[in-house]
Amino acid sequence: MKFLVINSGSSSIKYQVIEMETEAVLATGLVERIGETVGRLKNTFYPGTERERESELEQAIPDHDHGMRLVIALLTDPEQGIIADTSEITAIGHRVVHGGEDFRESALITPAILEAIKRNIPLAPLHNPANLDGIRVAMEIFPTVPQVAVFDTAFHQTMPPHAFMYALPYRLYEQDRVRRYGFHGTSHRFVAGECARLLGKPLAECNLITVHLGNGCSMTAIAGGVSVDTSLGLTPLEGLVMGTRSGDVDPALHLFLKQNKGMDLDGIDALLNKESGLKGLCGMNDMRDIHKAVAAGDKRAALALDVQTYRNRKYLGAYMAVLGRVDAIVFTAGIGENDAIVRAASLKGLEAFGIRIDPEKNSQRAKTARCISRPDSSVQIFVIPTNEELAIAREAATVVKK
């Protein structure tokens, strides 16, 4: 069984073809700069194996339909493709950013499901329309193949009202569904399952804190295998310090900037989402550049690192209080998986809570899941690579099987 996983963005299409019996990746690629003068398709067949081969194409890609058809032409190419024709695709899994309160789990795509995704556009005006574009194109190209929507927000729909409600007039929730939703749910669900396997326990018996640190960052408290609180909120702006996003700020900052800097709401939104976070503090949002600058004595880079890891510690402490008992802390995503300095700084001073990191294990680089805590740590610490594409494929397989 070959599954196609599609993540359709506003100007891009990420994709993978996965052989589900072995969960081997047969192809992975990215169509980018859709709608620009020159677009690009980058593809890799059999990544990470001896048969790995790459290809790249540059040409005008006016829309998602054109981009997806270029992908299919490449995948079915008689000389280098990995499938004979579209009939070899058993199912398609689509990443959908926002399911609102309509979806607690992944869903087989029907006209009713498409309408529900459309209804949630006000909650994700940049992402859901692009996700719908990808779904519609795939349904045209693969009219007989079952297609599944996998929602970033679904995993967090188990949060209790006291965790997801904001202390705002209740009518805003009733009329406009203003509440905490959380994101990165596919990643948090995946690493939680992998952690339970490493602990040798059913996921339903595990209390975990999963820490997704990349350009976007989030943390989730998982009790008995389900999400009970998460740091991202109504939008992906709340919570931890991110690459270009501020995370938590005083809500009255908007009024302050309007009155004192003459900024309008669009300008403030752009400032908080694109000019803040690590970039706002030191001018850099790539942690590798920040570490180099810190080593060279850059005080603002050091400040940015301190602000981010301090915020991480605050949330870890809060979620330990939420859970009471914590079996493990899991670091994942680009920074979480690869940055020993950030991991160590985020856990600094938490020894009294039974969190003891092993410096030697933490400093080792590996692409596989591993434990980096000391034997006397009552809370185990793991680094587990996330694999959202595989998680989407597994979700699609479960839905299709049902």
Query: 259: part of which helix (H) or strand (E)?
Result: helix 253-261
**Rama region for 141: left / alpha / beta (φ>0; ψ in -120 to 50; rest):** alpha
Hey, how many other C-beta atoms are within 10 angstroms of the C-beta on 147?
23
* Cα angle, residue 220 at apex, residues 214 and 226 outer, rounded to 5°: 135
Q: How far apart are alpha carbons 8 and 242 in whole angstroms?
A: 22
Contact at 8 Å (CB) between 17 and 137? no
Contact at 8 Å (CB) between 206 and 199? yes
Active site residues: 152
Residue 375: partners with Cβ closer than 8 Å, 6 or more residues away: none
Q: How far apart are alpha carbons 374 and 369 in whole angstroms?
A: 16
Q: Which residues pair with 328 in a beta bridge?
A: 208, 380
Structure tokens at 230: 């998460």
Extended strands (E) in 98-254: 107-108, 147-151, 208-213, 217-223, 226-230
Dihedral angle of Cα 227, 230, 232, 235, to the nearest 10 degrees: 50
Structure tokens at 264: 């309008």
Q: What share of the chain is helix, strand, coil (3-state, %, to 5)?
A: 40, 20, 35
Structure tokens at 150: 């996998």
Dihedral angle of Cα 105, 107, 112, 115, to the nearest 10 degrees: 70
